[in-house]
Structure 1
Amino acid sequence: MADVAKWYVIHTYSGYENKVMTNLEKIVENRKLHDLIEDIKVPTEKVVEVRDNKSKEIERKVFPGYVLVKMVMTDESWYVVRNVRGVTGFVGPSSKPVALTDDEVANLGVEQRVLEINYGEGDNVKIMDGPLEGYIGVVEEISKEKKKVRVIVSMFGRETPIELYLDQVRPLE
């Protein structure tokens, strides 16, 4: 039985997120639970705060009161996480843990997936997803920072630039 680790959301006392993450990491290390609990994250974002006419970049928690844990759900792993000081429970109906879907994980930006781009500017590509699925176009520009590509598609006799995500197009063989 090959159990796959999934991301779960645990609820903590407000302000305890980093403490819960640190305590859980220590427990995983001490009890050698790396095969059950793979990763623990407190999602943060950098924001510019203006106080007394001075701007300062600070790191702010995206979801105060929540910690994300990538784990294989077993009685043991559930018990370990549930009994960390500061944890109030898992997010899910009647505290029954519900794993995040792949789309939710992608939208939250929890895991950075390495996207292999095997096409370049000037290459012909086929659109694999969205309203123009099946259309063929020419890559005009690739923006790795935004994870987007601009493709020129010929529609109704006109050249139309379309911005798509990098994984929405494939090179023509």
Structure 2
Amino acid sequence: MDSIEKQWYVLHTYSGYENKVKNNLESRTETMNMTDYIYRVVVPENEVTTVKDGEEKTIIENDFPGYVLVEMVMSDEAWFVVRNTPGVTGFVGSHGGGSKPTPLLPDEVENLMSRMGITARREEKLELELGETINIVAGPFAGMQGIVTALDEEKQQLSVNVELFGRETPTELAYDDVDKLEEV
């Protein structure tokens, strides 16, 4: 049963390998020409500030060790690519024997994304241009500004240079994570 609509699914991975699985899956998506089926891969994590020895330290903490979220169209080919990515042990909601998994409910997705500071997909299309300065509204760079260096309209992603510690740092963001600068 193939789905023609992109939905969010949960992958089970080896604990501690979530970011490696994310990178592997994003790489496989590109090399196996699955960008029309596999859209976003997210490791559910949050910034946590702790005080140790009188010093404040911010670390990234994994909310659900051993799990990765993937937004995809469930086709046989996409299922095969994701399922056979190194470090993936299976889909949550799959009953084995090659059965397709159950997607997350929209409320579950919205709850998880808001916990991570990622906004839901906006309805209106954001028109951006190369070289444009934008506000980052979600994720680890929220509250900062960046300069658009590349746009991927199809995947609704963009590359942005953010000034961090006096250096320009490139980062990949979803269109939903940015807003145009307010006209003054």
TM-score range, shorter chain: 0.5 to 0.7
Query: CA separation of 1:101/1:21 partners in 2, compared to 1, >3 Å: closer, same or farther?
Result: same
Give me the whole-angstrom Cα distance separating, in 2, the residues matched to 1:7 and 1:76. 16
Contact 2:83 2:90 in 1 (8 A): yes
Is residue 112 from structure 1 mapped to residue 116 from structure 2 by the alignment?
A: no
Amino acid across the alignment from 2:50: E
Alignment of 1:101-140 (within 5 A): 101-109=105-113, 112-113=119-120, 114=122
Give me the whole-angstrom Cα distance separating, in 2, the residues matched to 1:76 and 1:65. 24
Q: Which runs of 5+ in 1 are unaligned?
A: 117-144, 146-173
Give me the whole-angstrom Cα distance separating, in 2, the residues matched to 1:2 and 1:11. 21
Paired positions, count? 118
Query: CA separation of 1:8/1:22 partners in 2, compared to 1, >3 Å: closer, same or farther?
Result: same
Residues 47-72 of structure 1 show CA distances to partners (whole Å, capped at 9, x for unaligned) of 11222232211111111110000011
Give 1:89's aligned residue.
90
Give 1:41's aligned residue.
42
Is residue 59 from structure 1 mapped to residue 60 from structure 2 by the alignment?
A: yes
Q: Aligned to 1:94, what secondary structure does the other structure show?
A: coil
Query: CA separation of 1:68/1:2 partners in 2, compared to 1, >3 Å: closer, same or farther?
Result: closer
Give me the whole-angstrom Cα distance separating, in 2, the residues matched to 1:103 and 1:37. 21
Amino acid across the alignment from 1:87: V
Residues 81-140 of structure 1 show CA distances to partners (whole Å, capped at 9, x for unaligned) of 111111110001524411001111111116513489xxxxxxxxxxxxxxxxxxxxxxxx
Q: Aligned to 2:95, what secondary structure does the other structure show?
A: helix
- Structural RMSD (CA): 2.5
Give me the whole-angstrom Cα distance separating, in 2, the residues matched to 1:2 and 1:77. 11
Contact 2:3 2:73 in 1 (8 A): no
TM-score, scaled to structure 1: 0.62
TM-score, scaled to structure 2: 0.58
Q: Aligned to 1:29, what secondary structure does the other structure show?
A: helix
Give 1:78's aligned residue.
79
Query: CA separation of 1:93/1:32 partners in 2, compared to 1, >3 Å: closer, same or farther?
Result: closer
State which structure, 1 or 2, has the greater radius of gyration over its C-alpha atoms: 1
Amino acid across the alignment from 1:108: L
Alignment of 1:129-168 (within 5 A): none
